[in-house]
């Protein structure tokens, strides 16, 4: 067990590094690597507590920080139709089909399976979407769906499991619908309230902290604390974590530069590590799941698995187009707010972006050990997760290219907006500099003032050059690009001298680190210019 704790992350990071170098989709390659290694590794059943308490909160929190609260507001209706409406629709359809396929299985257990495989995990889809340049609105919808759909699915899952094990069984299906609706509303509303309250308290606390290291240490603990606080009162920890993450991400630009630099570095490393381990673990579950099943009649479990997989995929395809276009047909208010209907290409892409992930597997492993048919439900979940990751995941880039979805206009609009913002910011900076010089506050040499003025003007020129101005010759470097290239060469020469002086014991390591830190910050600035 101790060896596995080290071997799995090492293998996962190595595979993810290879994928990044080759430009391949890392989640899919990690799943395939896990499948190949599964028979060779000691059997390890995924611990649902680790996923739900250790892996899920920081991944959701990081995604929420990286999201835009303002953009999510503009797509709230499609996000809610996907994260609530589609999840419930998929739960019912998959549960009904499973009940038909396994009539001896308790109906509530069949609907529990529906809740387990209903929520897509958009990590793989968003990774591909961003790499291939999908429109920002589509990416925002997929991210927003992944932030909230786990809460819907896990709440429905708890209700179905409670009914399956005999707590409050009523009705033909065995699910107490009134109680289920009450639990769902309480979990969602409670998650919202707790998230808002904790976000307000956290904002007040961080406002009093002026130390970037302390602030980021607090932020590291936030997703776990928020999740546990909400779950302690049976509210949705997922909703609470997402709300707090959105608030933190919204206020981060008002924090100090040190806080932002550290936060970005910390969460990029955290995302890379956790996502690598998560997708590798998905593939590694194959052998213990397969060996636990009765294969006396192999066509029966395989046939059921393919049927459930097909229903899980088709449910999304059936739901997305009507949920996209019907509100426009039925509501004049929606037509006024969104004068241009979504393109059919974007609708097709969202319909196909239904890859499932580790949350579904964790929920399946969390089924009570004494639940009749548990091994079959876990196997069906595994096939749906692997099937969607490989079939939809591998075909997703091809589909995007085939539909020829372009973001050239969006990229141009972004560059134009950036140039305008840089122009306004530089104008404000230069005005402030002139005020300081005129008031005598800045008692400095004229050369210093000119250097500050040139730096502000260069940032503005860099932004305008991204629009294609440059030097006027195709393929020729812009002045800013030449500046960055030459300055990086100069910095490399400076570092070489500093390291040699340290090796010759002419300066101490402490001096080297201090000077290197200054050079690193300058190079980081060059990368952003």
pTM of the model: 0.82
Residue 347: how many other CB atoms lie within 10 Å: 17
* CA–CA gap between residue 72 and residue 80 (Å, rounded): 10
CA–CA distance, 529 with 39 (Å, rounded to integer):
49
Contact 237, 228 (CB under 8 A): yes
- Residues 62-101 have pLDDT tens digits of 989 988 878 888 899 999 999 999 999 999 999 999 999 9
Return all residues near 7 (Cβ < 8 A) that are at least 6 apart. 41
C-alpha separations of 89 from 74, 101, 107, 323 in Å: 24, 18, 16, 12
Residues in the chain: 529
Q: Which residues contact 511 (CB under 8 A, 6 or more apart)?
A: 502
pLDDT at 169: 43
Q: Yes or no: say if 61 and 241 are a contact pair by the CB < 8 Å rule.
A: yes
Nearest alpha-carbon partner for 114 in 137, 136, 139, 96: 96
Phi-psi region of 119 (alpha: psi -120 to 50; beta: other; left: phi over 0): beta
pLDDT tens figures, 146-155: 889 988 999 8
- pLDDT at position 214 is 93
Residue 385 burial (C-beta neighbours within 10 Å; 0-12, 13-18, 19+):
buried
Residue 175 phi, psi (nearest 5): -110, 125
CA-to-CA dists, residue 398 to 129, 146, 218, 353, angstroms: 11, 22, 42, 12
Instruction: Give the per-residue pLDDT at 122.
Output: 66
Total Cβ atoms within 10 A of residue 291: 11
Task: Please report, for the chain, the start and end positions of each structural domain, with discontinuous segments joined by +.
Answer: 2-406, 408-469, 483-529
| Integer-rounded Cα radius of gyration of the chain | 27
What is the per-residue pLDDT for 67? Answer: 83
Are 287 and 42 in contact by the 8 Å Cβ rule? The answer is no
pLDDT by 10s per residue, the chain, length 529:
556 668 889 999 999 999 988 878 888 899 999 999 988 887 777 888 888 899 999 999 998 998 887 888 889 999 999 999 999 999 999 999 999 999 989 888 999 999 999 999 866 666 666 666 678 888 889 989 988 998 899 988 988 888 887 654 444 444 556 666 777 788 889 999 999 999 999 998 888 887 889 999 999 999 999 999 999 998 999 999 999 999 999 888 888 878 888 898 899 999 999 989 999 999 999 988 988 887 888 888 899 999 999 999 999 999 999 999 999 888 888 888 887 888 899 999 999 999 998 899 999 999 998 888 899 999 999 999 999 999 998 898 889 888 887 666 556 666 666 666 667 777 787 788 778 777 765 556 677 777 777 777 776 666 666 666 544 444 566 667 777 788 888 888 888 888 888 899 888 888 888 888 888 887 877 765 4
Angle at 47 between CA 43 and CA 51, to 5 degrees: 130
CATH class of 2-406: mainly alpha
């Amino acid at each position: 067990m101790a060896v596995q704790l080290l071997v799995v992350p090492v293998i996962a990071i190595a595979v993810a590094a290879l994928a990044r170098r080759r430009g391949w989709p890392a989640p899919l390659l990690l799943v395939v690597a896990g499948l190949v290694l599964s028979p060779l590794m000691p059997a390890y059943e995924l611990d649902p507590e680790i996923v739900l308490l250790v892996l899920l909160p920081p991944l959701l929190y990081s995604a929420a920080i990286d999201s835009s609260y303002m953009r999510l507001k503009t797509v709230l209706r499609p996000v809610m139709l996907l994260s609530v409406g589609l999840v419930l629709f998929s739960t019912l359809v998959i549960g009904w089909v499973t009940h038909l396929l396994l009539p001896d299985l308790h109906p509530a257990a069949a609907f529990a399976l529906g809740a387990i495989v209903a929520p897509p995990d958009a990590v793989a889809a968003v990774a591909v979407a961003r790499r291939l340049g999908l429109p920002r609105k589509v990416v925002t919808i997929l991210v927003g769906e992944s932030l909230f759909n786990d809460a819907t699915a896990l709440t429905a899952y708890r209700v179905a499991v409670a009914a399956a094990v005999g707590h409050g069984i009523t009705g033909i299906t065995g699910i107490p619908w009134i109680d289920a609706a009450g639990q769902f509303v309480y979990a969602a509303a409670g998650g919202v309230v707790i998230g808002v309250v904790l976000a307000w308290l956290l904002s007040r606390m961080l406002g009093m902290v002026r130390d970037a290291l302390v602030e980021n240490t607090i932020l590291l603990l936030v997703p776990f604390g928020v999740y546990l606080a909400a779950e302690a009162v049976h509210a949705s920890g997922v909703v609470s974590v997402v709300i707090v993450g959105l608030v933190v991400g919204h206020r981060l630009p008002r924090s100090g530069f040190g806080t932002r630099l550290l936060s970005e570095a910390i969460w990029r490393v955290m995302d890379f590590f956790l996502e690598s381990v998560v997708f590798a673990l998905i593939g590694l579950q194959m052998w213990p799941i397969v060996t636990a099943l009765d294969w006396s009649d192999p066509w029966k479990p395989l046939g059921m698995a393919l049927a459930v997989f097909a229903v899980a995929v088709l449910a999304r395809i059936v739901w997305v187009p009507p949920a996209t276009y019907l509100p426009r047909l039925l509501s004049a208010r929606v037509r006024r707010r969104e004068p241009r209907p979504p393109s059919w290409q974007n609708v097709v892409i969202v319909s196909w972006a239904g890859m499932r992930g580790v949350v579904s597997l964790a929920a399946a492993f969390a089924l009570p050990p004494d639940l009749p048919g548990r091994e079959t439900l876990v196997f069906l979940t595994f096939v749906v997760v692997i099937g969607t990751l490989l079939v939809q995941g591998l075909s997703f880039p091809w589909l995007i290219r085939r539909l020829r979805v372009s973001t050239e206009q969006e990229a141009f609009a972004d560059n134009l907006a950036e140039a305008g913002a840089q122009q306004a910011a530089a104008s404000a900076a230069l005005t402030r500099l002139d005020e300081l010089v005129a008031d005598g506050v800045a008692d400095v040499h004229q050369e210093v003032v000119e250097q500050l003025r040139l730096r502000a003007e260069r940032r503005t020129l860099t932004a305008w050059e991204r629009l294609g101005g440059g030097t006027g010759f195709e393929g020729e470097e812009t002045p800013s690009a030449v500046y960055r290239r030459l300055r990086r060469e100069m910095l490399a020469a400076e570092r070489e001298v500093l390291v040699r002086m340290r090796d010759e014991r002419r300066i101490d390591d402490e001096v080297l680190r201090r000077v290197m830190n200054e050079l690193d910050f300058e190079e980081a600035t060059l990368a952003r210019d």
